[in-house]
Structure 1
């Protein structure tokens, strides 16, 4: 008797889910591929939401992973605006909010993450924005245009990547920008204080005002619209609009309710615990993208990566593993950012406390340099190239080598990266 046709169900219509569906077909899978998207938009990429699209430099249709006709042409059953209520592991079914039930042979969770919200008095006022979805970017883009025309003020809560990219876009429109951040520098967790100070200076040179060491405790409004924010050090900041960018939390509700193991250890970032092939504690269920906390063979630890490249590469890796292929997901973490005239790429992983020093190669004053995060034993854990291009491959090879390097050779532009 021939085997029954298999059904691959993907929960989550973002980049990871869409690329997983694409990979299943590219690898020759002929069974059913069902992609369940909670949003009503076709799957899209998120970086433009705080970069090119928000800044008005790229068109809306450029954000989509595939042309809308691709799904039907490749026999991918795309369901938009669908909420999955629960997973029945024993019956191998997903139950939908509209009482629909879908059976699966293999299941991929690509449910992403949601913005952390600011729970303070006045948080419900109009004019307070979070940026995660395409409609969020649509609204914020219109707001920034208006602020620019009217010389309005944007208050940004949080000096992480989203906060800084939004600040750069707002300044390009001509808006006044103030950033409130509880740490002593921007990007303190992502880059540490050494490079945090560099990004603070970049934004200050473009007219952004920072208020460090303080947290927003309340918002004040009139006629339902925000007018100002108050901080725990007694300051008041007028604002015609607010963007809150204080991080994101993985959407683990479905996984937790289904009894799948979650990542709860220090530094693991929460999320669904997966092994090196992105398999959860149930061997028939995989997870990829922002929701997955993966064992990384290169770094010898589990962590969760929220960046674009992880979704781009993790979705296909999970799809191949679902097909029974031998998969070791050991990509070097990578992300990029564009702010004003500065472009940067970051490879590797160096959490606070993991590294002993930061070594610079090049001219930080001209904003053309490479930064290296080194461990005590001289291994390079991470590297960031700023306005220097086509060096990602040798930088990632250096990180993969786990080879100790003399800091003086790291800092010397005369030593080719390939010799390190």
Structure 2
């Protein structure tokens, strides 16, 4: 062991209680396995014997052997972890006071070194021999204190180093014992490894969600409020429905994560899923209606050509009519479409005053408008779902407040 005066690892980190708890868990599993093996050993076919019974007892004996092996694995692992937890606890108990003493001696050493330099400087500028000698004596006294403190720094630092080395040695011993215990011929399947990994990942995810549920709930409430504001603004500002789709996806993701962690509710998830489903269904309806409207546009072009317009002029006129049908800021058709620009454009374009509309097939247009109305109902339905979600959240808050008051 060597110590140069600077600690590379000041604290002995780790939690002996956590390690001990894990050791207890392994030992409990070992006890359960041992009990199962004992039960298999007590199986007795009595005086009855048959090929089936003999085969069963043979399988039971093989299973008992495997259980005994597994018991040894878990029991030895638990014992190894207990040994490491004890070494870690002892190392922290010894390193703690040593580290505090080390810090105090470092301060004493540095202070003495600083005073030594100061007295030496004062001796150099003293105006008489008596003062010069006094300053030099003070400098030598501080040098002696500095050296004494340096010795204590090294001593306490070595104690801290020794604590670290004992923990590292205990860790190596525990690892070796666990490696030996698990080298017992038993092999986990790929599914076992995946199951353990998934289980550990879910435990970590659940713990994180529970620890951070307060601010996640706040974010969810904030996002819901923002969606309300955006939904209202979308009646007059085109393009906000795309932002609302992103908000709906984010709300569904948060609601799903909270429910998976046990901090959310099915009601919350139901509202989020219904909102996104309503949005998606409406988008599919609008897409089908838009495709059908292309046929109406083609009929208008043909009608204008029959009226004497050139092909290029008729095509450009109808195309311009479609382009200009896109609702702008504050457009009344956007409000009629409940904030969906695609529906607003369709309502504007299908008006009978548009170029070539005199040739529209009333049955076809009526069919398209019915689907447009269905899409509008989906749009307003999404808004009503938002109202229901907010009301449900408010009701939950009221109930929670009453429960806390009753406590």
Q: TM-score, normalised by structure 2?
A: 0.22
Q: Choose 1 or 2 for highest CA Rg.
A: 2
Q: Which has the larger share of helix?
A: 2
Q: Which has the larger share of strand?
A: 1
